[in-house]
Amino acid sequence: MSLRPARAGRGIRFRRADLGGIEIPATVENVDRLHYATALSRDAGTVETVEHLLAALVSLGVDNVIVELNQPEVPIMDGSAASFVYLVHEAGLKRLTRPRQYLKVLRPVSLTRGEKSIALYPSDHFKVTYSISFDHPLLRHMTHTLRVTEESFVDEIAPARTFGFLKEVEMLRKKGLALGGSLDNAVVLGETGILNNSLRFEDEFVRHKILDAIGDLALLGSPVIGHLVAHRGGHELHAAFAEKFLQETDAWQLVESSSVVDAVGEAVAAKVPTPLAN
């Protein structure tokens, strides 16, 4: 995988070099499969596990970039977005002449599906409140609220790793999926505890859900100014909500700011296996 500079207005695009250069814009319209990770497709091309990279790009102010791949999956790295942050910082950022556009929330928009819910409320900045609840001793209930800035994302969200349950990993492997998964790129929970040595944060699980939500909302095409509140969400709910939010055109407006950098300064590359992502 390589990140290559793109001109203003191009947005974030995935390019399948192994399929003749087919490009897949990172937009809601191109969302394909949604379960353990977010996948996009266009024409004959697909790209999977895009959410961690998208979260890093949008949080670092990168609006225009070509993500070139010679396979269908974005590298999982260590299961977090920290490696992508490092790569972008290594390449540097370049200021472009076109002002950055934001989606500013004007009125609440919400979506509920059973016990799952997600909403965006007006705010003067981007803020996330996320709560999770699982039938597991370590995940009965967990919540976290954060004003998302470049600094808070880098320090408090990007290092949070994807997580999964041992029984799910075993089930996926029987189906020929997640064959590259290991304790090096995911937090794996057994019946009563964590199989990894330690957590990076006491509430790493819910922080990773915030990471996923930031990445999935990047498919709106512009960063959000609003307060995202989600309970027991996941990729399917995030994507359905993003589609609904764009359709309710009276609930938001585009505003501009020229005080950002929004393209990678030079090409950077990463090559690692790509298993299950949360």
Integer Cα distance of 273 and 227 in angstroms? 34
Burial string for 257-276 (b: 16+ CB within 10 Å, else e) reads eeebbbbbeeebeeeeebbb
Closest CA to 80 of 235, 277, 259, 265: 277
CB 226 within 8 A of CB 121: yes
Integer Cα distance of 47 and 66 in angstroms? 13
Catalytic residues: 235
How far does the chain reach from its first CA to its final CA, in angstroms?
20
272: its two tokens: 């690692």
Query: Could you tell me the sign of the dihedral formed by the alpha carbons of 178, 181, 186, 190, in that order?
Result: positive
Q: Which residue is listed with tokens 């191109």?
A: 30
